[in-house]
Chains A and B, each alone.
Chain A
Amino acid sequence: MIERLGLVTTQLPTTGSSVMALLVVVLPLLLGVLGAACRPKRSWPAVLASLLALLPLLTLTPLVVSQGTQAWVLELGGLMLHWRANGLTLLLLLLTQLLVLASAAYAPAYLRVAVQAQGRGPAWLWPLMGLLAASLSLIWLAADLFTLYIGLELMGLSAVGLMLLPGREDALAAGMRYLLLALIGSLAFLLGVALLLGAWGRLDLAGLAETVEAGPVLWVAMALLSAGLLLKAAAFPLHAWLAPVHGSAWTPVSALHAALVIKASFFIALQLWLVFAPQAAVAAWVVGGMGAAAVVWGGLLAWRVDKLKDVVAWSTVSQLGYLLIAFPLLIGTAPAVASIAWDGVWLQLLAHSLAKAAMFLAVGNLMLATGESRVSGLAGASRRFPLALLSFGIAAISLVGLPPSAGFTAKWLLLHAALAAGQWPWLLVLAVGTLLSAAYVFRVFRYSFVEDVELEDYRPVPLRMDLIALILAVASLVLGLAATWPLALLEITGGGP
């Protein structure tokens, strides 16, 4: 499995690709600072800046596609930083940049309509978003534990900062709790890294993969690393912080957080398992069991909660469970099974990121328009806000995993992998998850189709905000039938032609 991560490569990097890789990380940061200085009131400067940040990635992509996986070693004092870019990295980088682009396009209008306060908050949004994008890019590119730690820490801090921006009391309380847990998570991660460094004296993943030996040290280190990461990924039963944090956060921030931040921790965890414990099937089943519990518990709560945003937040907990099921399907299974599951996992991640971002934006629009935060407040919405509800619906199709969405194709692959591996429990989990997600999604629709309500005052949101949600939702739908394209990118694994 390790070669799929592109950690082993014979390719020597070119100067051009090195500059581009650096720019991919640094440019969002610079543009974030610029955003803080200018504080764009309209969408186009933000969109333009995000497109500018997309440029180095678009130059890097053909390089990697034509020449194969690229790897870089940077010397920073006595430290060696290892980076690499393979198909998977590119896919995740692209996803990050596109979602940041969507949020950046959404944010100015949102700030104007929803956040009238002229406080410091809006000014901080841009640099924090830049920092988040940069740290995420760093995580996708990193091939050693030190870079991963830096990326993780920066991402955690910028995410907390973004969540605190509304400045209201509930946002502060939830944000501080998030900060505390994120720090605990980082601490556990750091301890794990220290253990590995002490035992084997190196931090690059490719080198460690060859030198580590199974034994108590490795198990303790893996337990610490995994615990820290799963806490940050809001994996069951370490998920309790998630819903309150989203409840008070700004809509574009929620979208980014659910779509990317949580996925980064998952990505690191999966990568470490594949590198250090590729045969630890029993432990992987434990993680899969946590995933199963997350699917059921998150789904049940999403079905029962009262507030619209909580529905979406709990759905994230539930959907993350699907991803955790990847562990038992990838670790210690036959290559044929693992190769199906590999495609399924990353497709599921893409599908969920796009759909969840779309859903958060759509829900934000609905809440702005109705002035209601409860699900029952949506009564009659289908007539008044058809566009927001359409986006919600299309995103929901992907979340539930109904055809022809990317969520469906991903679920198909996961089901296929589970069947091929003979791991029957996951079939049941995926089935129950589908039904539960259908239940919570259609509960929202049920209210929105109610007709006999008084026409209360409501304010339509700018068309642009609706369109951005719709575009993301449609992207998650179209990806279902156009799945060959991202899957072809995944084929660029490295390890020679």
Chain B
Amino acid sequence: MSQAWLPLITLATSLLVAPLILLLPERAWRARAALNLSAALLKLLLVGLMVVGLYQGREFAFGFTVVPGVEFLLRVDALGMMFAGLSSLLWLATTVYAIGYLEDSPNRKRFFAFFSLCVASTIGISLAGNLFTFLLFYELLTLSTYPLVVHRGHPAGLAAGTVYLRYTLTGGLVLLLGVVGMHALVGDVTFGEREMLRDLAPSYHPLLIGLFLVMLLGLGVKAALVPLHGWLPRAMVAPAPVSALLHAVAVVKAGAFGIVRLVYDVYGIQLTFELGLLTVLTVLSVFTILYGSIRALAQQELKPRLAYSTISQVSYIVLGISLFGPFGTIAGLAHLMHQGLMKVTLFYCAGNYAEELGIHRIDELDGAGRRMPLTSLAFTVGALGMIGLPPVAGFISKWYLGLGAVQAGMPWVIGVLVASSLLNAAYFLPILHRLWFRAGPAHGKGQWPEERCLGRFETSGWLLWPSLATALFSLLAGLLAGLPFSPLDLATLVATEEYLP
């Protein structure tokens, strides 16, 4: 019996924290921090239990009927666990970071309540066992992130929030139409029951293609596929932990994860391939990868450059799953985790520079490596990983992407990968050069825009440790990729399930 409740309790850890935080007074920051951290730790533990149970072949599921024919279903599978593991790990790190980042700022109660709600929706998305439940949490994510995006309440933030809502609510609505259409066609679609669609007569295929494209349109907004990406760079005005969460864990990942579910667990890769939809995904993702990288090159500020880099990097996931074959699948799924780890590191570091030294523009970073060596080290790890250099995790993704491209008979994709890596290098290496090799205020030349000495180390420990931890994780995910429980191992597990009957 306890097995059915495990997913529910995992969801509840962050869902129930939200009202508890709202009940605490604004001043009680210690109690709030303790509550946040213990919930995050508890969740990590529960997810760990579920991952272990999954390896032992146990089943965890919880469900009830909402209206006749529609079921609310939480279910643990390998794919969901990857995402759940990522989000609970990064929730812990981001909670620590956010506590440090938001020290002494107003409205922290509201922030952390919606922050928990946001993580709850992410966990809900990963545990969702059917399209209806997925949609439920997918929309909840939109709602819970809006207050985070407009958190600072200044005109730029409010305007960005409006744009964000316009995109995501419309996307959610389109997705809703697609999901309802799917229900009207075949009824409740439990993830993994692919035979439902496979067994439909060929005369239904145009309808299936149409529904896929409608749902892709809905999911593509959050996954920031070009041309649906417009909200992402503008949402950069949010506080750094929010950006980290939006880019690495929650919103864009929810979109990408949704596409993964759509391809593997609703349509099945075989059917998607036969309908010719994988080509659509390949073309879309290749375009997005190149477009995002080129736009990133043109950005003069740090956070927008990272934002466009996200657009580009998230599409690697879509590219991976669009390559028909186990290697492509492994690449896409592993990158789901790898990109999260690396990107969150980069955003933490960007936040650290902004908080400690007031740096927002890239040309202000000269010599920052001397003033903030550990942060800069973490940033370097993240950036090298994004370029795809071994032994950082990004290398693994790109390696398997290349293998997948060959396996799928699309060697031209390797050309795209090379081009994209060159572009990645072109926009990350100059930053690294400025950090380490240019003389700046730390060498007595000029001064920092707004220096605050936040802590005993180069900056406050609350900000520094999460950055280092995630940098370390991205390194380990690459170095120890062959060991069990690594992202690559989980991805292989999923791919095996997918391709072996």
B70, B109, B153: which contacts A452 (Cβ < 8 A)?
A: B153
Q: Which residues of chain B from 65 to 123 have any CB-CB distance to chain A below 8 Å in the complex?
A: 65-68, 70, 72, 106-107, 109-110
Binds A, one of B135-143, B193-201, B229-237, B303-311: B135-143
Bound: A279/B140 CA distance, A:
40
Binds A, one of B33-41, B157-165, B288-296: B157-165
Binds B, one of A138-146, A312-320, A434-442: A434-442
| Residues of the A chain whose Cβ atoms lie less than 8 Å from the Cβ of B143 | 397, 402
The tally of residues in B whose CB lies under 8 Å from a CB in A reads 39
Contact pattern, A 381-419, Cβ under 8 Å of B = 1, otherwise 0: 011001000100000010000111000110011011001
Bound: A449/B110 CA distance, A:
11
A450 with B158, Cβ < 8 A, contacts A383-B106, A404-B140, A419-B184 known: yes
A386, A434, A442, A483: which contacts B66 (Cβ < 8 A)?
A: A483
A382, A383, A419, A481: which contacts B72 (Cβ < 8 A)?
A: A481
Contact pattern, A 468-481, Cβ under 8 Å of B = 1, otherwise 0: 00000000000011
Bound: A335/B67 CA distance, A:
17
A415, A451, A487: which contacts B176 (Cβ < 8 A)?
A: A415
Contact status B173-A435, CB under 8 Å: yes
| Residues of the A chain whose Cβ atoms lie less than 8 Å from the Cβ of B172 | 402
B189 to chain A, nearest CB (A): 14
| Residues of the A chain whose Cβ atoms lie less than 8 Å from the Cβ of B177 | 415, 427, 431
Bound: A419/B184 CA distance, A:
7
A451 with B66, Cβ < 8 A, contacts A397-B143, A420-B184, A427-B177 known: no
Bound: A24/B158 CA distance, A:
50
B278 to chain A, nearest CB (A): 27
Bound: A484/B181 CA distance, A:
22
Question: Does A343 have its Cβ within 8 Å of any Cβ on chain B?
Answer: yes
Contact status B110-A386, CB under 8 Å: yes
User: Residue on A with the closest CB to B70?
Assistant: A412
Contact status A415-B180, CB under 8 Å: yes
Bound: A343/B65 CA distance, A:
14
A434 with B173, Cβ < 8 A, contacts A416-B180, A442-B162, A446-B161 known: yes
Bound: A480/B165 CA distance, A:
22
The tally of residues in A whose CB lies under 8 Å from a CB in B reads 35
Bound: A450/B106 CA distance, A:
13
Q: Please name 6 further chain A to chain B contacts, defined as beta carbons within 8 Å, in addition to the given A452-B154, A481-B72, sorted by A numbering.
A: A403-B140, A416-B183, A445-B146, A446-B161, A451-B106, A487-B68
Contact status B140-A343, CB under 8 Å: no
Contact status B147-A412, CB under 8 Å: no
B377 to chain A, nearest CB (A): 36
Contact status A412-B180, CB under 8 Å: yes
Question: Does B150 have its Cβ within 8 Å of any Cβ on chain A?
Answer: yes
14 residue pairs from A and B, CB less than 8 Å apart: A386-B110, A402-B142, A404-B140, A409-B66, A412-B67, A419-B180, A434-B173, A435-B173, A449-B147, A450-B153, A451-B153, A481-B66, A484-B68, A487-B67
Contact status A403-B135, CB under 8 Å: yes
User: Residue on B with the closest CB to A415?
Assistant: B180
Contact status A438-B110, CB under 8 Å: no
Q: Which residues of chain A from 344 to 363 have any CB-CB distance to chain B below 8 Å in the complex?
A: 347
Question: Does B169 have its Cβ within 8 Å of any Cβ on chain A?
Answer: yes
Show the binding face of A for B, using Cβ within 8 Å.
343, 347, 382-383, 386, 390, 397, 402-404, 408-409, 412-413, 415-416, 419-420, 427, 431, 434-435, 438, 442, 445-446, 449-452, 480-481, 483-484, 487
Question: Does B496 have its Cβ within 8 Å of any Cβ on chain A?
Answer: no
Bound: A314/B110 CA distance, A:
30
Contact status B162-A446, CB under 8 Å: yes
| Residues of the B chain whose Cβ atoms lie less than 8 Å from the Cβ of A484 | 64-68
Contact status B136-A449, CB under 8 Å: no
Contact status B183-A446, CB under 8 Å: no
A183 to chain B, nearest CB (A): 40
Contact status B154-A435, CB under 8 Å: no
A386, A427, A442: which contacts B165 (Cβ < 8 A)?
A: A442
Contact status B181-A419, CB under 8 Å: yes
Question: Does B22 have its Cβ within 8 Å of any Cβ on chain A?
Answer: yes
Nearest first, the 8 closest Cβ-Cβ pairs linking A and B are A451-B153, A403-B136, A419-B184, A415-B180, A403-B139, A449-B150, A449-B153, A483-B67
B400 to chain A, nearest CB (A): 35
Bound: A452/B156 CA distance, A:
12
User: Residue on B with the closest CB to A400?
Assistant: B169
Bound: A434/B218 CA distance, A:
15
Q: Which residues of chain B from 169 to 226 have any CB-CB distance to chain A below 8 Å in the complex?
A: 169-170, 172-173, 176-177, 180-181, 183-184
B133 to chain A, nearest CB (A): 9
B66 to chain A, nearest CB (A): 6
A403, A408, A416, A446: which contacts B184 (Cβ < 8 A)?
A: A416
Bound: A435/B167 CA distance, A:
11
Bound: A382/B67 CA distance, A:
35
| Residues of the B chain whose Cβ atoms lie less than 8 Å from the Cβ of A408 | 136, 139
A344 to chain B, nearest CB (A): 9
| Residues of the B chain whose Cβ atoms lie less than 8 Å from the Cβ of A404 | 136, 140
| Residues of the B chain whose Cβ atoms lie less than 8 Å from the Cβ of A445 | 146
Bound: A434/B177 CA distance, A:
12
Bound: A303/B436 CA distance, A:
53
| Residues of the B chain whose Cβ atoms lie less than 8 Å from the Cβ of A450 | 153, 158
| Residues of the A chain whose Cβ atoms lie less than 8 Å from the Cβ of B146 | 442, 445
B137 to chain A, nearest CB (A): 8
Bound: A236/B161 CA distance, A:
32
Question: Does B434 have its Cβ within 8 Å of any Cβ on chain A?
Answer: no
Contact status B158-A449, CB under 8 Å: yes
A218 to chain B, nearest CB (A): 34
B80 to chain A, nearest CB (A): 18
A308 to chain B, nearest CB (A): 18
A22 to chain B, nearest CB (A): 34
A345 to chain B, nearest CB (A): 13
Bound: A438/B146 CA distance, A:
12
| Residues of the A chain whose Cβ atoms lie less than 8 Å from the Cβ of B438 | none
User: Residue on A with the closest CB to B132?
Assistant: A412
Bound: A427/B177 CA distance, A:
8
Q: Which residues of chain B from 41 to 66 have any CB-CB distance to chain A below 8 Å in the complex?
A: 64-66
A260 to chain B, nearest CB (A): 24
Contact status A343-B173, CB under 8 Å: no
User: Residue on B with the closest CB to A438?
Assistant: B169
Bound: A382/B184 CA distance, A:
41
Contact status B67-A409, CB under 8 Å: yes
Question: Does B361 have its Cβ within 8 Å of any Cβ on chain A?
Answer: no
Contact status A446-B158, CB under 8 Å: yes
Contact status A431-B180, CB under 8 Å: no
Q: Most chain-B Cβ atoms within 10 A of its Cβ — which of A343, A412, A420, A481? A: A412
A441 to chain B, nearest CB (A): 10
